[in-house]
Structure 1
Amino acid sequence: MKRNTTPVYYGDYLQLDKILGAQSLQSKHYGDPAHDEMLFIIVHQVYELWFKQILHELNAVISVFNQRQIPDQSLIEVVHRLQRINQIQQLLNDQISVMETMTPQQFLSFRDYLVPASGFQSIQFKRLEISLGLKREFRIDFDKQSFYNRLSQDDRELLEALESKPSLFELVEQWLARMPLLIKDEFAFWQHYKQAADASLQADRKIILSNDTLTAKEQQQELNDLTATEENFAALFDKTAYQKLNDEGTFRLGHEAMMALLFIKQYPEEPIFNLPFQLITALTDIDEKLTIWRYRHAMMVQRMLGTKIGTGGSSGHHYLKKTTESNRIFTDFFNAASFLLPKDMLPALPNSVKQYFGFYK
Structure 2
Amino acid sequence: MKKNIEPCYYGDYLQLDKILGAQSLESKKYGEPAHDEMLFIIVHQVYELWFKQVLHELNAVIDTFTPERLSDTDLIGVVHRLNRIIQIQQLMNDQISVMETMTPQQFLAFRDYLVPASGFQSIQFKRLEISLGLKREYRIDFDKQSFYSRLTDEDRALLEGLEAKPSLFELVDRWLARLPLLKTADFDFWQHYKQATDTLLNNDKDTIENNDTLSDKEKRQELNDWQSTRENFDALFDSSQYASLRKEDKFRLSHKAMLSALFIKQYSEAPIFNLPFQLITALTEIDEKLTIWRYRHAMMVQRMLGTKIGTGGSSGHHYLKKTTESNRIFSDFFNMATFLLPKDMLPPLPASVSRYLGFYLSESTANDSAK
**Interval of TM-score (by shorter of Structure 1 and Structure 2):** over 0.9
Q: Encode CA deviations 1:169-209: one digit per residue, 9 max, x unaligned.
A: 00000000000133234422111110001001011111212
- In structure 2, the partner of 1:314 is 314
Q: Name the SS for the 1:180 alignment partner.
A: coil
CA change 1:143–1:168 in 2 (3 A) is farther
Range that drifts further, 177-186 or 217-226: 177-186
Q: Name the SS for the 1:138 alignment partner.
A: coil
- The yes-or-no answer on 1:98 pairing with 2:98 is yes
Determine the C-alpha separation between the residues in 1 that align with 2:318 and 2:3.
Answer: 55
- The yes-or-no answer on 1:191 pairing with 2:191 is yes
- In structure 1, the partner of 2:269 is 269
- In structure 2, the partner of 1:278 is 278
Aligned length: 361
Determine the C-alpha separation between the residues in 2 that align with 1:340 and 1:217.
Answer: 29
- In structure 1, the partner of 2:145 is 145
Amino acid at match of 1:283: L
Determine the C-alpha separation between the residues in 2 that align with 1:39 and 1:45.
Answer: 10
Determine the C-alpha separation between the residues in 2 that align with 1:190 and 1:288.
Answer: 29
Determine the C-alpha separation between the residues in 2 that align with 1:245 and 1:207.
Answer: 27
Using the size of structure 2 for normalisation, the TM-score is 0.95
Amino acid at match of 2:271: P
Determine the C-alpha separation between the residues in 2 that align with 1:209 and 1:326.
Answer: 33
The correspondence of residues 4-23 of structure 1 with structure 2, limited to 5 A, is 4-23=4-23
The correspondence of residues 1-361 of structure 1 with structure 2, limited to 5 A, is 1-140=1-140, 142=142, 144-360=144-360
Determine the C-alpha separation between the residues in 1 that align with 2:101 and 2:11.
Answer: 30
TM-superposed deviation, 1:148: 2.1
Determine the C-alpha separation between the residues in 2 that align with 1:141 and 1:102.
Answer: 27
Amino acid at match of 1:334: F
Amino acid at match of 1:349: L
Gaps of 5+ in 2: 363-371
Percent identity over the alignment is 77
Determine the C-alpha separation between the residues in 2 that align with 1:142 and 1:224.
Answer: 33
CA RMSD across the alignment: 1.2
CA change 1:141–1:123 in 2 (3 A) is closer
Determine the C-alpha separation between the residues in 2 that align with 1:308 and 1:146.
Answer: 22
Determine the C-alpha separation between the residues in 2 that align with 1:108 and 1:322.
Answer: 24
Residues 142 and 314 of structure 2 are in contact (CA less than 8 Å); yes or no, is this contact kept in structure 1?
no
TM-superposed deviation, 1:146: 4.7
Amino acid at match of 2:295: Y
Using the size of structure 1 for normalisation, the TM-score is 0.98
Determine the C-alpha separation between the residues in 2 that align with 1:345 and 1:145.
Answer: 50
Amino acid at match of 2:63: S
Amino acid at match of 1:18: K
